[in-house]
């Protein structure tokens, strides 16, 4: 006869509610770890999926994902001239927020180097890759854009020709994939009034120069589009992605590019590490502190619960001692209940998490190693928290059964 089983059956309702409360607390601990894994996965998703060997970014910056990076478009041609480089592609990345159906719509805009990159590497769930240089986009399903839906950004309208899933930026925004040219137009879009005022300001500044006073026809350039003026630099991109020829040393290629004074170069692993050490590091520490606090709280709550359950059985424990039951029977009763409480609570937390976590706005990834670690912690908590109940049980006198 197992005394722990008998006692659980006798107080089944209270024990079930206790297990449910412990499971909710453990589910929060699981969720904290899953949120961190999801943040890391989202932050490094593009770096891993694109698979570029080297990233050329603005000098002394950490790259387009960690901070703003601006490099000239002709950097692609310079990079192609480096020995050992098989391909170089433009990369443009920025975030916009618009209003759609009365609600804010945030899109992480990523420019694909058309026509070399049409988005064939994307895990498409519907539709197709980009088929033309303008006015098409591939949208992540989290954006809520249906296939063949048209979205107006600035003065242009883009049609959703493909859908992908789980392509999220480090900030949790769904990614929209455009050609680099379209992404640049979206980034630098200006209203007609803003363009008119800028041209008027250029003309006013031009009138202050003596050369313009002597040759008034030069002021005609002030009202021309900025892209036609040689004095104004063209739109820039965020980075250049390099693929190195098979068998060539990436370090040698990176050493050549790093000698250029206007750019920095990172390998894929270095770019990934810089990103994790930057925007993700503080989140990791904060979530880690919350997990530690929750584990401590769970241990305290379980210890108090087991202590209370032991107090409810004082008369029964005293009676067992009176009839000569050894201490190991009483110890087994309390420790088995503690282990059952922790095991059932962990199991319910996992099953609830499988249904609840997909409803979260950010991805929650339950990693196997994290679950094993948490299971070990729950086991230690169950055994440790039972000590308080064991201490009280050992102090029970057999005479209390006669009171």
Per-residue pLDDT of 230-285, as tens digits, reads 555 567 888 999 999 988 888 889 899 988 888 999 988 888 888 777 667 777 78
Residue 306 pLDDT: 73
Nearest to 96 by CA among 57, 143, 58, 56: 143
User: Is the omega angle on the peptide bond into residue 226 within 30 degrees of 0, that is, cis?
Assistant: no
**C-alpha span between 124 and 139 (Å, rounded):** 10
**C-alpha span between 135 and 154 (Å, rounded):** 12
Strands (DSSP E) found in 141-277: 150-153, 156-164, 175-179, 239-244, 263-267
Per residue in 102-121, pLDDT (tens digit) is: 888 999 999 998 888 888 88
**C-alpha span between 208 and 348 (Å, rounded):** 76
**pLDDT surpasses 50 at 1:** no
Tokens standing for 36? 């961190």
**C-alpha span between 184 and 228 (Å, rounded):** 16
Contact 52, 268 (CB under 8 A): yes
116 by DSSP, 3-state: which? Answer: coil
φ, ψ dihedrals at 363, nearest 5°: -70, 140
Per residue in 187-202, pLDDT (tens digit) is: 877 677 776 777 677 6
Residue 233 pLDDT: 57
Q: How confident is the model at residue 385 (pLDDT cuts 50, 70, 90)?
A: confident
């Amino acid at each position: 006869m197992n005394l722990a089983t008998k006692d659980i059956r006798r107080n089944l309702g209270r024990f079930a509610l206790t297990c449910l409360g412990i499971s909710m607390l453990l589910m929060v601990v699981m969720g904290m770890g899953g949120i961190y894994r999801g943040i890391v996965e989202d932050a490094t998703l593009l770096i891993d999926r694109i698979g570029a060997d080297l990233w050329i970014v603005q000098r002394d910056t950490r790259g387009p994902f960690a901070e703003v990076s601006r490099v000239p478009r002709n950097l692609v041609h310079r990079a192609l001239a480096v020995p050992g480089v098989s391909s170089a592609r433009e990369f443009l990345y920025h975030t916009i927020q618009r209003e759609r159906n009365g609600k804010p719509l945030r899109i992480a805009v990523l420019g694909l180097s058309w026509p070399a990159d049409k988005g064939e590497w994307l895990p498409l769930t519907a539709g197709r890759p980009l088929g033309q240089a303008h006015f098409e986009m591939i949208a992540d399903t989290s954006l809520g854009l249906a296939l063949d839906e048209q979205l107006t950004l600035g003065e242009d309208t883009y049609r959703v020709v493909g859908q992908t899933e789980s392509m999220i930026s480090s900030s949790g925004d769904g990614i929209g994939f455009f050609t680099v040219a379209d992404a640049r137009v979206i980034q630098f879009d200006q209203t007609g009034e803003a363009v008119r005022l800028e041209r008027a300001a250029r003309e006013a500044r031009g009138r202050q120069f003596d050369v313009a006073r002597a040759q008034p026809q030069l002021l005609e350039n002030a009202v021309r589009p900025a892209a036609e003026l040689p004095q104004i630099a063209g739109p820039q991109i965020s980075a250049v992605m390099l693929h190195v020829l098979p068998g060539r040393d990436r370090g040698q290629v990176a050493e050549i590019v790093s000698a250029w004074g206007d750019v920095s170069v990172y390998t894929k692993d270095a770019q990934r590490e810089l990103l994790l050490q930057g925007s993700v590091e503080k989140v990791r520490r904060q979530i880690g502190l919350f997990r530690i606090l929750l584990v401590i709280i769970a241990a305290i709550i379980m210890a108090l619960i087991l202590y209370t359950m032991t107090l409810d059985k004082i008369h029964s424990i005293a009676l067992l001692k009176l009839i000569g039951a050894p201490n190991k029977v009483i110890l087994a009763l309390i420790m088995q209940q503690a282990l059952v409480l922790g095991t059932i609570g962990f199991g319910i937390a996992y099953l609830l998490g499988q249904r609840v976590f997909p409803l979260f706005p950010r991805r929650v990834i339950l990693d196997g190693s994290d679950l094993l670690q948490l299971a070990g912690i729950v086991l230690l908590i169950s055994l440790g928290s039972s000590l308080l109940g064991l201490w009280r049980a050992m102090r029970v006198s057999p005479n209390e059964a006669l009171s």
